[in-house]
Amino acid sequence: MTNKNESIMDLIPIFKGKKGLYNRLILEILAEAGEPLKPWEIAKRIYEKSLKKATDWYHGTQKIYGTIIRKGGRLEELNKKDYIRFREGKWDLTGKGLIAVLLANPNLKSKVKVETRRIFQMMFQLLPKENEMIADIPIQVGIFGIKLKTSVAKLRKLFETAINLITENGEYLIEFLIRETEGLIRNGLDLDRINTQDLTSMLCIKRLLFTDEQFIQLLQRAINHTVENKSEKENDCAGLSFILDLDRGLHEKHSTKSSQKSSLK
């Protein structure tokens, strides 16, 4: 258990010390960009954010570039700790990276909402069209740590729903991620040592113990808009349904106990 008055920044190792400034700038720049960036572009934007510009932009950027791309440098460390990922010559934030940058700078909420929506839209565009022959072939995928056994056609519906939910309720979902992750950190979680999938699982487990009616309603909407009947809900959205059922079970169990106590009085 940590001191409640201690800054959340002091509890996240990658934000500590001299290296912490570069780490924070890299995450913030990727969040603000709303798209993956090449290492040189990241270095250039770090230079532009620098308060002390002792050299011209090219040599200043070149120096920063050398610092972030070298072996054991900032990009490699952030990648090893699952804050960023490298794809097709560019760097992008992971789910954990998005949460970390929000903890460091809550003013980026709107930017992160746009970035999250972009990620889902990008994945949606990569899916085959519904009229293609493979649309109904069963597949298993993992989305931010939640494993789904479904078909391409139904997966497209899930992504469409997710995009709409982010558009309509993005602020609430982001507040949930910040609040719950900060709570885990203040209770001893080392954010550097957990990957995106395990962090997502921990947040799901925490939902089982600390329910929130609005969050349950959002999950219910996601399931109702994605599938047609109960059996499909159980198969296609097993992770979400499991959380929802246990949430309800906890409420019912608590209500039953309360009723029993009242009848004994």
pTM above 0.85, yes or no: no
- pLDDT at residue 103 above 80? yes
Judge whether 154 and 226 are in contact, CB under 8 Å.
Answer: yes
- pLDDT at residue 93 above 80? yes
- pLDDT at residue 20 above 60? yes
Least reliable range by pLDDT among 100-104, 123-127, 144-148, 253-257: 253-257
Residue 85 confidence (pLDDT): 93
For residue 217, which phi and psi values (nearest 5 degrees)? -65, -40
Higher pLDDT, 34 or 100: 100
Higher pLDDT, 264 or 42: 42
pLDDT band at 53 (very low <50, low <70, confident <90, very high): low
Give the up-direction half-sphere exposure of residue 173: CA atoms within 13 A in the CB hemisphere.
Answer: 21
In the block, tokens 């990620």 appear at 119
- pLDDT at residue 219 above 60? no
Read off the pLDDT of each residue in 101-117 and give the average, rounded to a whole number. 86
Q: For residues 40 and 71, what is the distance between their CA atoms, to the nearest angstrom?
A: 16
- Provide the residue ranges of all domains of the chain, joining segments of one domain with +: 1-93, 119-265
Read off the pLDDT of each residue in 52-62 and give the average, rounded to a whole number. 82
Q: Provide the H-helix boundaries in 54-148.
A: 57-69, 74-80, 95-104, 109-126
Q: Which range, 46-50, 157-161, 218-222, has the best average confidence (pLDDT)?
A: 46-50
Residue 111 confidence (pLDDT): 81
Q: Return the structure tokens found at 31.
A: 């969040």
Higher pLDDT, 246 or 72: 72
Least reliable range by pLDDT among 4-13, 15-24, 157-166, 247-256: 247-256
Read off the pLDDT of each residue in 147-153 and give the average, rounded to a whole number. 61
Residue 3 confidence (pLDDT): 57
Q: Return the structure tokens found at 144.
A: 């931010």
Nearest to 200 by CA among 220, 234, 173: 173
Judge whether 83 and 132 are in contact, CB under 8 Å.
Answer: no
- Listed as own residue / partner, the contacts of 19-22 with beta carbons closer than 8 Å and 24 or more positions apart are 19/74, 19/77, 22/46, 22/67, 22/68, 22/74
- pLDDT at residue 100 above 90? yes
Higher pLDDT, 222 or 232: 222
Assign 42 to helix, strand or coil.
helix
Residue 113 confidence (pLDDT): 80
Q: For residues 246 and 131, what is the distance between their CA atoms, to the nearest angstrom?
A: 36
Q: For residues 254 and 256, what is the distance between their CA atoms, to the nearest angstrom?
A: 5
CATH of 1-93, one of 1.10.10, 2.50.20, 1.10.760, 1.20.120: 1.10.10
**DSSP at 6:** S
List CB contacts of 185: < 8 A, sequence separation 6 or more: 2, 8, 11, 12, 103, 191
> What are the beta bridge partners of residue 150?
139
Q: Percent of the chain, pLDDT > 90?
A: 34
Residue 29 confidence (pLDDT): 96
Read off the pLDDT of each residue in 230-248 and give the average, rounded to a whole number. 42
Q: Which range, 124-133, 139-148, 163-172, has the best average confidence (pLDDT)?
A: 163-172
Read off the pLDDT of each residue in 182-202 and give the average, rounded to a whole number. 89
